[in-house]
Amino acid sequence: MAKHHVSTTINGDPAEFLCDTQQTLLDCLRDELQMTGSKEGCASGDCGACSVMLNGRLVCACLVLGVEADGATIDTIEGVAQGDELHPLQKHFLDEAALQCGVCTPGFIVAAKALLEENPDPTETEVRYWLAGNLCRCTGYDKIIRAVMNAAAEMRGA
Amino acid sequence: MGNEENVGKIIDYSGRQFKQIGTRVVRPDGVEKVTGKANFGADFKANGMIYARTVRSPHAHAKIKKINVDKALKLKGVKAVVTGADFPEIDVNDKAVGEVVVSYYDMAHNTIARDKVYYDGHVVAAVAATSADIAEQAARLIEVEYEVLKPVMTAEAALKKNAPVLHKHLFTQGVEPKPDKPSNLAARSQFKLGDIEAGFGQADVVVERTYTTQTVHQGYIEPHACVASITADGMVNVWCSSQGQFMVRAYVAKICGIEISKVKVTPAEIGGGFGGKTVIYLEPLAVALAKKAGRPVKMVMTRDEVLRATGPTSGGSARVKLGAKRDGTIVAGDMELTYEAGAYPGSPVMLGCMTGFAPYDIKNINAVGWDVVVNRPKAAAYRAPGAPVAAFAVESAVDELAEQLGMDPLELRLKNAAVEGTQAPYGVKFGPIGYKETLEAAKNSPQWKAPLGPNQGRGIASGFWFNIGGTSSAEVMVNEDGTVIVATGNPDIGGSRASMALMAAEVLGIPYERIKPLVADTESVPYSMLTGGSRVTFATGKAVIEAAQDAVNDLRRRAAKIWDVDLEQVEWQDGQAVCIESDKHKPLTIANIAAKADKTGGAISGKANINATGAGPGFGTHICDVEVDPETGHVTVLRYTAIQDVGKAIHPSYVEGQLQGGAVQGIGWALNEEYVYSDDGRLLNTGFLDYRIPVASDLPMIDTVLVEVPNPGHPFGVRGVGETPIVPPLAAVANAVSHAIGKRCADLPLSPVRLLSIIDGK
Amino acid sequence: MSFGGNVSEIQFATPQTVKEAVKCLAGAKGRAKVLAGGTDLLVQLRAGMVRPALIVDIKHIPELSAVKREDGGFRVGAAVSGAELGANKAFRKAWPGVLEGLELIGSTQIQGRASLGGNLCNGSPAADSVPGLIAAGATCKIAGPKGTREAKVEDVVAGPGKTTLKPGEFVVSFFLPKRPKHAGDAYLRMIPRTEMDIAVVGAAVSLEFDAKGVCTDARVSLGAVAPKALLVKAAGKALVGSKLDDDALEAMAAACRAACNPIDDKRGTIEYRTKVAGVLAKRAARIALERAQA
């Protein structure tokens, strides 16, 4: 059985992998490329734990076929920090205790980063609706929303 | 349960000003978790690993007549198949009696069905193959012949005359005389105080109503996952996410028939549990497949499997009757709870009986609980198991009583609040507790005074949870440079590494950053009970404090040796050994002493193995404001405040997080979460699309107030905090909605469809 | 599934033109599935509900991924994602109700992928973008082995999970007509939460008015109250000639309720859906009126 040979750019670096048609981008990231920062919580696009950027757009990696990534640009949680320098969102998630178990955290950070790139000064309501596709069962979202708002303020230089 | 009369004290820290406890430090495992590097259950890989999938029953109740695995085994890439026949049979009476009764027979049969399946999603077989896709296709080739039986889907149906009986060996416990026929009624429990008849005789006002709730799931985001390998000489290794590596070890050993010393469990990070990972599902299957295939086997559940076959917690009904005098004194409380246990006995109904009336000083109480088996997945613990349903009923009844008496519901609670010395319904007399303080805090909260608009309502409700102690171990190891490793045996489910490090730092007197907390595998630290019962910061924390104290004593001994003075002359002050009688010896830091460890007797460490008693009970009070759309029945939560006596908040941010998370789980329970079954017993909402846990846009900020009434049973005053927060919200929400629409809402969830029918009077 | 052998393979194709896509679909050995945003197909694949022999990714075809002006209206590629269409300001101004429907499908993440074509062809009676398209009087261009054809959106879905597309056919694009001066549309849905749910009831209303504010054309469409999204002609009729006074709105709501033919299922009851269809239609009509007046 011939697998697809997929060439992509992930977090700025060229990456190649082989996959079957039915393997999702999430399967490929986790199983073929050993990038396990993106999590599978539902495999149906309902939890957002596998949030990644595909050609600059926020998507659930569980709803993209790996083979669709051929020629695409992908950004994942693994590329959010620059070396050992954390992104302001990551710092604020730590400072505001915006994670308990932490399994949803990578998805939230990728999704929130996409929001702040599009809207650097979101209202609380805008943050809540943008992140409605990221489920968290531990925190009740309160500290997550605060962390995103505070990171946004810091990034605006406010 | 917390034994308030046997308060253990270790060190007297009373009156002490904390230096690090109570600060909001960054958790030690935080960077790994915000960068995606932390390894959760599904993130582990072993060399040569293969993948397994399960075959699950589509029927709620059926006899297994035949399983044919031939076609699956012929598929290329398939390495092993197991069925119930591959596991040792366990005696039906083999039970562990501890905090809860664990039947190994039931657990084994729940892991993989033998002669019968008892719910939609019950595992019948498992297959391992070289890829997940091949395993999935192979699972579809396994042919199971069933004789479909009529399912019983609710307690009501299960208790009907001529209802199909699930288990032939199940005779109702707790009734006299012992029944001569098996039934679906697994057990009766009862708790009594005073004279219930006489109590109601004194009452001027009586309210009585039956309340119902549906099955709900813990809803952790991380599905169950594990990898198992077995060496040629029979040594088993399991890597998995759970609420207790020692729990997994014990259960795997039992179900697979292996000695404990041959099973090693390495805990992964855990992506939420809430009680749902205090039991095992996949691990024995993975071990059996690994043994057959001779290769490591990975199993990860789908969300569909999680909802169909793990968790959930019992749906149940509660009839509550309350009697009060005209002045508001509650004189009698009567409660009858009926909980659905799922496929095997063991709903948390007894805990419901014990907790429902606990916030109140009521002299005459009768609480009866019925545990009923039905063709749904076996209930697992869920955050304060049993308490939320009972509290929903009692706290709604208190609200209704306040209406009848023309009293403010908060004042009614204050008048009847349990205080130190109050006799709890389950027997003990409370020690120092902070329930009244939570009510006072509620009264002073901005929310309690905020104005309400049209179609809006405010609800208040309280809740109680015991919190537990139990067996915990800790080792404090001083490294050569004076940094410290604190090893414990409890998975960190919500920031406990930070708490352990803070408590050790406080005792050792060194900065938090110099301490590395470690969640150790089952061969690197002595046995600890699982992470549950709100016990880790209390019990394991107590062990850490004792171990740190032990290490301090070792450090003092070394300093005495270096100085050649008596041990009594060495005191430990702010992370340094100080010689109290002579100033010729400059104080020695932990680093100074550690550097000379080889000359003073080798490595420096402290340890503690304890069975912690003196857990302090937790009381909480929540306020919820809602707005109801009277034309659609849609509820919007406008404001929410959660208040709780937390004893002492070691890391206030994570304590607040427990209150907020528990409150929101309770809001979900009250508004939109429920298992929906077809008439023939198939679960219809097997994903997060239709099993509706709250999303960010559903909620306001959740305000918190931490009341700190120290628990004398813990050196720093800690009470467990994790479970209490899910007890009040069901009634807080329902009371708010009831006030908004002017009708009592006694059936959860208050989904738009149900609520509109209540509004329209149907 | 052949046993004693290998698992079956799923082929994957990325045609660059409509013609190539038609050829791919015609040449499939077994079942072929069209992939646009994948937000339904991938869920079905993972759940084992489908295992096609071939998946045809149509997103590489320029026509499927473009939004263009045509005859004063809009031609929207069937695979254009919600996020892309939402970024088109002219479209948002002309057809806010259509966009509302599309943008209500799933989360921000889903919006990065979900398309009008996919939402329509998945055949769900509760599809959020379909009532808005029907109310708008949208048509779609369908390509197949016998060439291309235009169809009204309301004629594409046959029932739950079923379309009137013939073997080898797929939707290429949607056409939304030019808007006159005083016109507005709106879509509302009822869900238990605030996001992430499937509509229990959906209602779209598209209105046109003359200079005096009298309604000259009204189209009302309901979702999730029948085996497929309905165009409720009587509801539209009840508004034409009125200024959307309370009586006219109530008459429209009554027509909506009368048109409902829902089921009891895990998401709602017949009674609930019927009542709330009227409520939402009224509310949507008021929003559409406001937009027409703006």
Regarding whether C230 and C130 lie in a shared domain, the answer is: no
The full length of chain B comes to 762
| CB proximity A6 to C under 8 Å | no
Contact (CB<8Å) A100/B27: no
Query: Alpha-carbon distance B323 to B330, whole Å?
Result: 6
Domain's final residue, options A17, A44, A79: A79
Annotated catalytic residues of B are 723
Identify residue B15 by its one-letter amino acid code: G
Q: Give the count of domains, chain C.
A: 3
**CA dihedral over B1, B5, B10, B11, signed as positive or negative:** positive
Residue A8 φ then ψ, to 5°:
-140, 175
H or E stretch at B180 = none
Q: pTM of the prediction?
A: 0.97
Structure tokens at C264: 């009891």
- Within 8 A of C267 by CB-CB distance, chain B residues are 690
pLDDT (average), residues A47-74: 98
Sheet holding B297-300, edge to edge: B78-83, B123-129, B50-56, B297-300, B225-230, B236-240, B263-267
Residues B371 and B2: their CA atoms lie apart, in Å, by 23
Q: A109 to chain B: nearest residue by CA?
A: B34
Contact B664, B733 (CB under 8 A): no
pLDDT at C2 over 80: no
Rounded distance, CA C124 to CA C41, Å? 13
> In percent, how much of chain C has pLDDT > 70?
99
**Interface contact flag, A137 B40, Cβ < 8 Å:** no
Interfacial A residues in 4-63 facing B (CB < 8 Å): 20, 22-23, 27, 30, 34-44, 46-47, 49
Q: Are residues A134 and A152 in the same domain?
A: yes
Contacts of C271 in chain B (CB under 8 A): 757, 762
Q: Name the residue among B20, B79, B493, B112 with its Cα closest to residue B278.
A: B493
Question: C159, C176, C193 — which closes off a domain?
Answer: C176
Give me the residues of C, 10-69, that contact B with CB < 8 A. Answer: 46-48
Checking DSSP bridges between strand B236-240 and strand B263-267, what pairing results, if any?
Answer: parallel
Same domain, A61 and A102: no
- State which residue of chain B sits closest to A97, comparing Cα positions: B653
Please check whether residue C169 is in contact with residue C156, taking contact to mean a CB–CB distance below 8 angstroms.
Answer: no
Q: Tell me which of B612, B638, B657 is where a domain ends.
A: B612
How do beta strands B576-579 and B570-573 pair?
antiparallel
Res A1 pLDDT > 60: no
Range of the domain at B488: 30-38+470-612
The last residue of one of the domains, among B552, B580, B612, is: B612
Furthest C-alpha separation in chain A = 56
Choose from A103, A109, A110 for mutation: most chain B CBs within 10 A: A103
* Mean pLDDT value of segment C37-61: 95
Which domain CATH number covers C164? 3.30.465.10
Q: Indicate which CATH number applies to the domain containing A13.
A: 3.10.20.30
Is residue A95 located within the same domain as residue A71? no
What is the full DSSP assignment across C105-144?
A: SS-HHHHTT-BHHHHHHT--TT-THHHHHHHTT-EEEEEE
Query: Domain end: B593, B612, B631, which one?
Result: B612
Structural domain boundaries enclosing C277? 183-293
pLDDT at B583: 84
- Give the nearest chain A residue to C107 (CA atoms): A133
Domains in chain A, number: 2
Contact state of C108 with A62 under an 8 Å Cβ cutoff? no
- Domain-embedded: residue C6: no
Low-confidence ranges of chain B (pLDDT < 50): 1-14
pLDDT of B11 reads 37
Task: Find the closest chain A residue to B303 by CA distance.
Answer: A42
Summarize pLDDT for C143-198 with one digit per residue, the tens: 999 999 999 999 999 999 999 999 999 999 999 999 999 999 999 999 999 999 99
In angstroms, the separation between the Cα of residue B224 and the nearest Cα of chain A is 10
Q: Which of residues 123-142 of C touch A (CB under 8 A)?
A: none
Q: Do A21 and C113 touch (CB under 8 A)?
A: no
| Sequence-distant (≥ 6) Cβ neighbours of residue C47 within 8 angstroms | A44, B304
My answer on whether A64 and A125 are in the same domain is no
Q: Decide: residue C97, CB within 10 A, 0-12 exposed, 13-18 middle, 19+ buried.
A: buried
User: With bands split at pLDDT 50, 70 and 90, how would you rate the model's confidence at C1?
Assistant: very low
Q: What CATH number corresponds to the domain at position C36? A: 3.30.43.10
The closest CB to that of C57, out of A60, A68, A132, belongs to: A68
Q: State the residue range of the domain holding A32.
A: 4-79
Same domain, B478 and B590: yes
pLDDT in tens, A22-53: 999 999 999 999 999 999 999 999 999 999 99
Q: 3-state DSSP helix/strand/coil percent for chain C, to nearest 5?
A: 35, 25, 40
Q: Is there a single domain that holds both residue C223 and residue C289?
A: yes
Residue A51 contacts C where some CB pair is shorter than 8 Å: yes
Closest CA to C101 of C138, C55, C51, C71: C138
Question: Where a domain ends, among A79, A98, A127?
Answer: A79
What percent of chain A clears pLDDT 90, i.e. is strictly above it? 98
* Nearest beta carbon to residue A63 from set C10, C59, C113: C113
Pairing of strands B123-129, B78-83: antiparallel
DSSP code of residue B683: B
**For residue C211, what are the contacts with CB-CB under 8 A and spacing of at least 6?**
C181, C182
pLDDT tens, C72-87? 999 999 999 999 999 9
Does residue B553 share a domain with residue B493?
yes
Both A38 and A55 in one domain: the answer is yes
Q: Are residues C146 and C71 in the same domain?
A: yes
User: Rounded distance, CA B391 to CA B397, Å?
Assistant: 9
The CATH number of the domain where B510 resides is what? Answer: 3.30.365.10
In this structure, the answer to whether residues B621 and B752 fall within a common structural domain is yes
User: Which of B26, B654, B697 lies at the smallest CB-CB distance from A95?
Assistant: B26
What's the ipTM?
Answer: 0.98
Instruction: Write down the pLDDT at residue B98.
Output: 66
Taking CB atoms and an 8 Å limit, are C7 and B133 in contact across chains? yes
pLDDT tens for B300-309 read 999 999 999 9
Where a domain ends, among A59, A79, A99? A79
Check C109 against A46: CB less than 8 A apart. no
From C228's Cα to the closest Cα of chain B, the distance in A is 20
Rounded Cα–Cα distance for residues A141 and B212 (Å): 28
Q: Which residue of B has its CA nearest to A47?
A: B688
Residues B608 and B624 in one domain: no
Q: Take residue B147 and report the two structure tokens written for it.
A: 């004789």
Q: Which pLDDT value is given to residue C26? A: 95
| 3-state per-residue secondary structure call for chain A | CCCEEEEEEECCEEEEEEECCCCEHHHHHHHHCCCCCCCCCCCCCCCCCCEEEECCEEEEHHHCEHHHHCCCEEECHHHCCECCECCHHHHHHHHCCCCCCCCCHHHHHHHHHHHHHHCCCCCHHHHHHHHHHCCCCCCCCHHHHHHHHHHHHHHHCC
Residue A154, token pair as written in the block: 């810091």
Tell me which of C259 and B12 has the higher pLDDT.
C259
User: Which residue in B345, B421, B335 sits closest to B379, CA to CA?
Assistant: B345
